[in-house]
């Protein structure tokens, strides 16, 4: 038996008896000079990497429990030495070779164990043993260097965190449960000793543990991460006690005095150390794997051995041993260096993603934003990119089939052993997949810093590469693409692969039972991609909005530019702005990327989810300030359907029945709705309306119909040139769509918007709309058989100006002063103390209580504020006829026996009050030119209406 084997056996034997053989008079801190167990552990950890198999003789609970115990118990002058041993141990940080696996290794397995230590007598926490959950890594040879280092780093970090928590308890106990200056000073000295011990191992040469980690200071990062985690937990626990009542807080402090210790300053110090270590890692990764934007990376093979340090020579040897028989020259190339470092790249990012939320933005922003963005983006995107650089769905077309099931029904089958299932499982099983949320957030914070610290040209170079990158075909290694180009490429290829498969738009019952679990996993991955993209864009868009010039200046196109546009471009010139062109290109690319992902977004509803809406509308707000940029965006995302029989023919008016394939059209219309105001009329008429029209004429696809309907409403709200010609078609569409596809509120809003817009252009068209609505009212009334021939003649009598029936000028002026008074229906009911807002909310909540006839009449009344003075009396005459019809029906019902008054008669009474309420509101909404005339009419008829 070798000396190292004897050391391992001694450590196991001593660790087994640590908790059972403690003496009551044991000192608080331990002098390891005469501790044979500690000396054996230290000797074992100090062994070179060639002896790593001896470490496998220890179970994970024994190894990490021993580290926790001694790191927390050692006297201060021995802490630095032990921390240095842990950090520099080649034996600890080198994976054991599979051929030399000890027989006992298989016993430990992969289960989670608890590292437990017993509190000394008299400790404030002696009532219970403290434990920390440690995910024990198998002692089997790891599947990759990355997985081994992640497992080892996590376990060491948790052991260090547990040691610090225990050390705080011991320090407080040694100070007689005081948490004052002396205790805080002792904690600072302990932390400084740990950091000093790590620094001492790096002073003379690179530790062997760092060499095992491809030169990255992963051991240092793991230890500092453990300190950071423990300090943050202590801070959070102390913060929670502040939210307790005084008695609860006193009881908590009595049970655990360490809760009263302030760790604000030590936490800030360790955060700084964590940032410095991460910066060193990024320097190492970025310098070797990421070229400067727009520059060529010189081949590393051109460098002489005399120009590299000792570690570089060692690194080349190690990469050569990893990669096999390849020559050193080829291994030193840009691609090979990146491949060698990719084995360990995920390790620091795995730890950084978990601990970055514990570090404030002002410290994260001290990191180089370009380096951090490059490292995190490559880690995120490479998960979803296929082996050929396309996407993980590149083989979907070959793996999806259809098969005949019972009842001659055709269902979709996904090959469970195909390439898609294999790649998907590797994505789900990857170490970074569960951490994509915090990793994307870290990347977003880096992008926010980049936007605020770099010039527009520099940020464009980072994200797009060149000014017109969106229109260029990118060549070369995909990992060196500019960020937004790479994201857009991935999203477009995901979209193309999915929409080309039978799974696109398929319902669950159309998929074979055995393939449903696989498709659910696919959708989990799709949504993860969408969430990651949205989180990345979130902080970036916030920063970009803040960096936009304020106020934004709109520059209208000149006459000369208009003439030039007629000759050299498809569309007329639009307005421009003082927004930097790189910002506009970035926003265009964000929205274009979302276009490729809308088949995923639409599963959350037409507007997606909260954070998506924030990013989406922020981007539209920015780009909507520049008309030229809006035109370019719409051309970029415009859906194009090709005739299957003739690929050269574009089907502009064709309907797409597949929901997933139709999503690009819906997204285009959603964007166009927000940008209509700055688009030239020619763009609206030749680009936007042809895409709207098929889904307005055929309303069976509700999602796209609603988007197209919103676009047309936006045209009327922005008074575009086409609104007069569009009015007959659109009004007929609205009438036909109510109430099947439009609610009463939507219908009224649309009709009043149309009337208001066309009234500025043509009173005759506005009156045609009112007349067409009145015809629909009459048709509905006659279909219900609610009025006789005489009533019908009275309801359609011509308008004209009616002479005032005794209303004096004083009464009119008094009515003008009191025009914001309560509704007359409330006076009739004896409840005149409610304000107008409450009344309107009540009316809105009760709007479904009325029949279609009443809703149509109320819609016509809602259009009254939008007509000009010349049409006001004529429109009000129709309103008068409607109210009187309801009053007459009400009177005929009241004249009968009370027992014979049916529900229809009661509905008539409530409808009359509702119409009067609506009329009163409409008159109050009249403008200065028509309000006096409207009030005069109201005073003339209010008694007649019975209010």
Least confident of 260-264, 745-749, 754-758: 260-264
Over residues 161-170, the pLDDT tens digits come to 999 999 999 9
Task: Report the C-alpha gap between 417 and 427 in whole angstroms.
Answer: 15
Beta-bridge partners for 642: 650
Over residues 844-870, the pLDDT tens digits come to 334 445 788 889 999 999 999 999 999
pLDDT at 387: 65
Cβ atoms 340, 322 nearer than 8 A = yes
pLDDT mean across residues, the chain: 78
Statement: residue 114 has pLDDT above 60: no
- Reported pTM: 0.79
Cβ atoms 792, 774 nearer than 8 A = no
pLDDT at 214: 81
Over residues 517-543, the pLDDT tens digits come to 999 999 999 999 999 999 999 999 999
Task: Report the C-alpha gap between 714 and 693 in whole angstroms.
Answer: 15
pLDDT at 8: 53
pLDDT at 68: 93
Exposed, middle or buried, 340 (CB in 10 Å: 0-12/13-18/19+)?
buried
Average pLDDT of the residues in 146-155: 91
Tell which wins on pLDDT, 186 or 829.
Answer: 186
Confidence of residue 251 (pLDDT cuts 50, 70, 90): confident
Instruction: Output the CA torsion sign for 877, 878, 884, 888.
Output: positive
Other CB atoms within 10 Å distance of the CB of residue 943:
9
Statement: residue 301 has pLDDT above 90: no
Average pLDDT of the residues in 717-743: 91
SS3 of 324, please?
coil
Give the DSSP H or E segment for 571: none
Calculate the alpha carbon distances from 832 to 59, 623, 914 in Å: 82, 48, 16
CB contact burial 446-463 (16+ within 10 A = b; e otherwise): bbbbbbeebebeebbbbb
Percent of all residues in the chain with a pLDDT value above 70, rounded to a whole number? 73
pLDDT at 532: 95
Confidence of residue 221 (pLDDT cuts 50, 70, 90): very high
Nearest to 227 by CA among 358, 130, 82: 358
Over residues 788-806, the pLDDT tens digits come to 433 433 332 222 333 333 4
Exposed, middle or buried, 368 (CB in 10 Å: 0-12/13-18/19+)?
middle
Cα distance between the two ends of the chain = 108
Confidence of residue 683 (pLDDT cuts 50, 70, 90): very high
pLDDT at 410: 83
Tell which wins on pLDDT, 473 or 401.
Answer: 401
Confidence of residue 250 (pLDDT cuts 50, 70, 90): confident
Confidence of residue 176 (pLDDT cuts 50, 70, 90): confident
Confidence of residue 335 (pLDDT cuts 50, 70, 90): low
Structure tokens at 146: 């990355």
The residue count for the chain: 947
Task: Report the C-alpha gap between 385 and 393 in whole angstroms.
Answer: 9
Cβ atoms 435, 354 nearer than 8 A = yes
Most confident of 205-219, 459-473, 766-780: 766-780
Beta-bridge partners for 410: 404
Structure tokens at 649: 């023919």
SS3 of 677, please?
helix
pLDDT at 137: 39
Confidence of residue 892 (pLDDT cuts 50, 70, 90): confident
Nearest to 786 by CA among 851, 877, 705, 691: 851
Statement: residue 922 has pLDDT above 70: yes
pLDDT at 537: 95
Over residues 630-645, the pLDDT tens digits come to 999 999 999 875 455 5
Contact residues for 803 (Cβ-Cβ < 8 A; gap 6+) = none
Cβ atoms 760, 775 nearer than 8 A = no
Structure tokens at 87: 């950090």
Task: Report the C-alpha gap between 86 and 612 in whole angstroms.
Answer: 45
Cβ atoms 155, 64 nearer than 8 A = yes
Task: Give the helix, strand, coil percentages of the chain, each rounded to 5.
Answer: 70, 5, 25
Over residues 587-622, the pLDDT tens digits come to 999 999 999 999 999 999 888 899 999 999 999 999
Over residues 56-106, the pLDDT tens digits come to 778 888 899 999 999 999 999 999 999 999 999 888 998 877 644 444 433
Statement: residue 563 has pLDDT above 90: no
Statement: residue 913 has pLDDT above 90: no
Least confident of 66-80, 264-278, 650-664, 771-785: 650-664
Tell which wins on pLDDT, 944 or 278.
Answer: 278
Structure tokens at 808: 């004096």
Confidence of residue 710 (pLDDT cuts 50, 70, 90): very high
Beta-bridge partners for 823: none
Exposed, middle or buried, 198 (CB in 10 Å: 0-12/13-18/19+)?
buried
Give the DSSP H or E segment for 65: helix 60-73
Q: Give one word for 117, left, alpha or beta, with left for phi > 0 and alpha for psi -120 to 50.
A: beta
Over residues 499-523, the pLDDT tens digits come to 999 999 888 888 888 889 999 999 9
Least confident of 13-17, 25-29, 42-46: 13-17
pLDDT at 680: 93
Helix runs in 464-558, H state only: 483-499, 516-547
pLDDT at 444: 93
């Amino acid at each position: 038996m070798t000396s190292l084997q004897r050391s391992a056996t001694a450590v196991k034997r001593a660790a087994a008896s640590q908790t059972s053989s403690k003496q009551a008079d044991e000192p608080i801190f331990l002098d390891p000079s005469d501790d044979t167990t500690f000396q054996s552990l230290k000797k074992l950890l100090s062994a070179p990497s060639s002896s790593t198999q001896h470490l496998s003789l220890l179970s994970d609970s024994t190894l990490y429990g021993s580290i926790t115990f001694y790191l927390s118990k050692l006297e201060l002058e021995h802490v630095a030495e032990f921390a240095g041993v842990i950090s520099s141990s080649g034996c600890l940080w080198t994976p054991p070779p599979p051929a030399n696996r000890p027989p006992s290794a298989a016993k430990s397995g992969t289960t989670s164990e608890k590292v437990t230590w017993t509190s000394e007598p008299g400790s404030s926490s002696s009532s219970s043993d403290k434990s920390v959950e440690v995910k024990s890594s198998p002692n089997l040879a790891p599947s990759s260097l990355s997985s081994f280092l992640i497992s080892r780093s996590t376990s060491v970090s948790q052991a260090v965190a547990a040691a610090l928590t225990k050390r705080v308890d011991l320090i407080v106990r040694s100070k007689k449960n005081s948490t004052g200056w002396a205790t805080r000073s002792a904690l600072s000295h302990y932390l400084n000793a740990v950091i000093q011990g790590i620094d001492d191992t790096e002073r003379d040469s690179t530790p062997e543990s760092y060499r095992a980690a491809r030169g990255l200071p992963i051991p240092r990062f793991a230890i500092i991460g453990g300190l950071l985690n423990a300090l943050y937990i202590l801070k959070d626990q102390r913060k929670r006690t502040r939210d307790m009542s005084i008695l609860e807080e006193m009881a908590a402090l009595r049970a655990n005095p360490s809760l009263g210790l302030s760790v604000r300053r030590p936490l800030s110090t360790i955060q700084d150390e964590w940032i410095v270590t991460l910066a060193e890692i990024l320097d190492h990764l970025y310098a070797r794997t990421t070229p400067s934007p727009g520059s060529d990376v010189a081949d590393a093979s051109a460098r002489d051995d005399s120009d590299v340090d000792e570690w570089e020579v060692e690194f080349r040897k190690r990469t050569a041993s990893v990669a096999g028989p390849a020559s050193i020259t080829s291994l030193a190339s840009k691609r090979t260096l990146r491949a060698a470092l990719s084995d360990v790249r995920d390790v620091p990012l795995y730890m950084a993603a978990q601990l970055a939320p514990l570090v404030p933005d002002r410290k994260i922003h001290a990191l180089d934003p370009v380096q951090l963005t490059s490292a995190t983006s490559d880690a995120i995107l490479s998960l979803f990119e296929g082996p050929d650089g396309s996407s993980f769905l590149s083989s979907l077309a070959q793996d999806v089939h259809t098969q005949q099931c019972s009842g001659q029904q055709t269902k979709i089958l996904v090959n469970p052993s195909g390439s898609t299932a294999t790649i998907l499982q590797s994505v789900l099983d990857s170490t970074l997949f569960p951490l994509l949320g915090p990793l994307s957030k870290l990347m977003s914070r880096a992008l926010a810093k980049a936007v605020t610290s770099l010039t527009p040209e520099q940020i464009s170079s980072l994200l797009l590469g060149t000014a017109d990158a969106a229109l260029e075909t990118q060549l070369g290694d995909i990992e060196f693409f500019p960020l937004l180009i790479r994201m857009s490429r991935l999203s477009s290829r995901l979209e193309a692969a999915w929409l080309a498969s039978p799974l696109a738009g398929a319902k669950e019952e159309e998929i074979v039972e055995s393939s449903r679990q696989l498709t659910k996993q696919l959708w989990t991955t799709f949504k993860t991609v969408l969430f990651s993209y949205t989180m990345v864009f979130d902080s970036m868009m916030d920063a970009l909005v803040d960096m936009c010039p304020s106020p934004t200046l709109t520059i209208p196109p000149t006459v000369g530019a208009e003439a030039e546009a007629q000759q050299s471009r498809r569309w007329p010139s639009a307005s421009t702005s003082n927004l930097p062109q790189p910002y506009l290109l970035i926003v265009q690319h964000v929205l274009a990327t979302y276009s490729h992902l809308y088949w995923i977004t639409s599963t959350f509803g037409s507007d997606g989810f909260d954070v998506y809406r924030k990013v989406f509308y922020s981007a539209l707000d920015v780009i909507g300030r520049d008309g030229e940029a809006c035109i370019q965006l719409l051309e970029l995302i415009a859906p194009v359907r090709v005739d299957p029989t003739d690929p050269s023919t574009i089907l502009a008016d064709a309907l797409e029945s597949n929901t997933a394939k139709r999503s690009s059209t819906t997204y285009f219309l959603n964007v166009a709705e927000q940008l209509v105001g700055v688009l030239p009329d020619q763009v609206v008429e030749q680009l936007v309306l042809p895409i709207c029209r098929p889904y307005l004429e055929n309303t069976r696809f509700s999602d796209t119909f609603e988007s197209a309907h919103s676009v047309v409403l936006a045209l009327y709200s922005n008074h575009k040139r086409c609104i007069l010609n569009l009015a007959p078609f659109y009004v007929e569409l609205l009438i036909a769509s109510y109430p099947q596809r439009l609610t009463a509120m939507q219908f009224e809003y649309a009709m009043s918007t149309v009337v208001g817009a066309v009234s500025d252009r043509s009173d005759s068209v506005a009156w045609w709309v009112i007349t067409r609505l009145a015809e629909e009212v009459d048709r509905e009334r006659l279909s219900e058989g609610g009025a006789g021939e005489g009533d019908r003649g009275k309801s359609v009598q011509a308008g004209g100006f009616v002479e005032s029936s005794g209303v004096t000028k004083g009464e009119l002026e008094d009515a003008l002063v009191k025009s914001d008074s309560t509704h007359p229906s409330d006076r009739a009911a004896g409840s005149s103390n409610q304000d107008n807002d409450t009344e309107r909310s009540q009316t809105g909540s009760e709007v479904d209580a009325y029949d279609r006839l009443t809703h149509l009449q109320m819609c016509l009344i809602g259009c009254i504020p939008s007509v000009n003075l010349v049409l006001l009396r004529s429109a009000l005459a129709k309103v008068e006829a409607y109210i009187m019809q309801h009053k007459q029906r009400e009177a005929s019902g009241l004249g009968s026996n009370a027992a014979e008054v049916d529900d229809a008669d009661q509905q008539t009474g409530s409808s009359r009050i509702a119409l009067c309420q609506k009329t009163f509101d409409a008159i109050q909404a009249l403008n200065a030119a028509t309000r006096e005339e409207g009030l005069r009419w109201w005073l003339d008829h209010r008694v007649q209406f019975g209010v």
